[in-house]
């Protein structure tokens, strides 16, 4: 598969990340005129994604970010389906963005790799699970890799293209070219490692931030301010955890500790406490910060 052969892009998983990856491809890949299908086995998720896309594009027109003509072109190129199998069969490039569950992902890759074309590139957006975890169940695993977008995918420019021991050079270069064609700044990671590059660096910052808070050195607000005003971070580590989900942080650290056995990799006791309380951040209305009043507004 080459970049010029990619016509139909299928995003599997109609959640927040899937929606934004698909919309970014539609918005910034207009020169390539990609046909994008967002699919999910849950009809309610597809319906929600379709509603979100319509409202998002309407807002872009209202703010004069795109013309009505451009909006119509994007809408024409963007379709929605709850038939994952049929969508996969049409794909030249597949990006998986479903739940972070190894068993479910393995079942999906086993199924779709038999249904799609032999050279269809299959990428997982996961930063927690490397593609080699799916290689043994994937037909033609040389076309399998991690294509990791950052949240929010419509804003963040970085895409990590991760080479598994099974991944061909052609797959890596085509995935890199595809990401660049949709306005992203892709980097190639030559060896699989949990968390890849950016998240490993961020994890070290988050670990230190939690340690400072545990020891009573500084408050959540002051640690975030130090990172934002002293290190020029767009947002501090606690605000970022609230945005991406404290539950996500918990699961990633838990799984990393299970693999490494290194105490350093364990979730912070403060993160565990938040997880047990169900305080996951913005999506639950409360995390390190309280968003209740904001949600009411």
Q: Which residues are catalytic?
A: 127, 148, 160, 199
Whole-number Cα distances in Å, 270 to 2, 173, 181, 199: 47, 41, 41, 20
Structure tokens at 82: 């709850």
Contact 279, 285 (CB under 8 A): no
Compute and round to an integer the Cα radius of gyration of the chain: 20
Where does residue 140 rank: exposed (0-12), middle (13-18), buried (19+ CB within 10 A)? middle
- Write the CB contacts of 193 (distance below 8 Å, at least 6 apart in sequence): 130, 200
Residue pointed to by tokens 């807002």: 59
CA distance 91 to 119: 10
3-class DSSP state of 129: coil
* Both tokens assigned to 71: 């909006």
Pairwise CA distance, residues 92 & 98, whole Å: 19
DSSP-assigned letter for residue 144:
E
Given a contact cutoff of 8 angstroms between Cβ atoms, the answer to whether 84 and 38 are in contact is no
How far is residue 177's CA from residue 2's CA, in Å, rounded to a whole number?
A: 9
SS3 215: coil
Q: Are strands 158-162 and 144-149 parallel, antiparallel or unpaired?
A: antiparallel
């Amino acid at each position: 598969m080459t970049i010029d052969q990619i016509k139909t892009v299928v995003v599997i998983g109609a959640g927040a990340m899937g929606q934004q990856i698909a919309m970014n491809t539609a918005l910034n890949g207009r020169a390539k005129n990609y046909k994008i299908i967002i699919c999910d086995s849950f009809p309610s998720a597809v319906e929600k994604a379709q509603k979100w896309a319509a409202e998002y594009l309407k807002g872009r027109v209202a703010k004069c970010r795109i013309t009505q003509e451009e909006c119509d072109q994007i809408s024409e190129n963007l379709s929605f389906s709850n038939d994952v199998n049929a969508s996969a069969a049409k794909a030249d490039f597949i990006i998986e963005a479903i739940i972070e569950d190894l068993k479910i992902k393995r079942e999906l890759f086993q199924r779709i790799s038999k249904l799609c074309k032999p050279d269809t590139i299959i990428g997982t957006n996961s930063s927690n699970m490397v593609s080699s975890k799916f290689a043994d169940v994937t037909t033609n695993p040389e076309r399998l890799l991690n294509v990791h977008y950052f949240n929010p995918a419509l804003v963040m420019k970085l895409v990590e293209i991760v080479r598994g021991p099974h991944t061909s050079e052609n797959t890596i270069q085509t995935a890199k070219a595809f990401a660049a064609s949709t306005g992203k700044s892709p980097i190639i990671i030559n060896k699989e490692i949990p968390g890849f590059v950016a998240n490993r660096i961020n994890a070290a910052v988050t670990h230190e931030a939690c340690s400072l808070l545990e020891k009573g050195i500084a408050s959540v607000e002051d640690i975030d301010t130090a990172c934002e005003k002293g290190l020029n971070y767009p947002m501090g580590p606690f605000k970022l955890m609230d945005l991406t989900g404290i539950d996500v942080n918990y699961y990633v650290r838990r799984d990393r500790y299970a693999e490494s056995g290194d105490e350093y990799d364990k979730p912070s006791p403060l993160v565990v406490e938040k997880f047990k309380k169900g305080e996951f951040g913005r999506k639950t209305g409360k995390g390190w910060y309280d968003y209740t009043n904001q949600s009411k507004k």
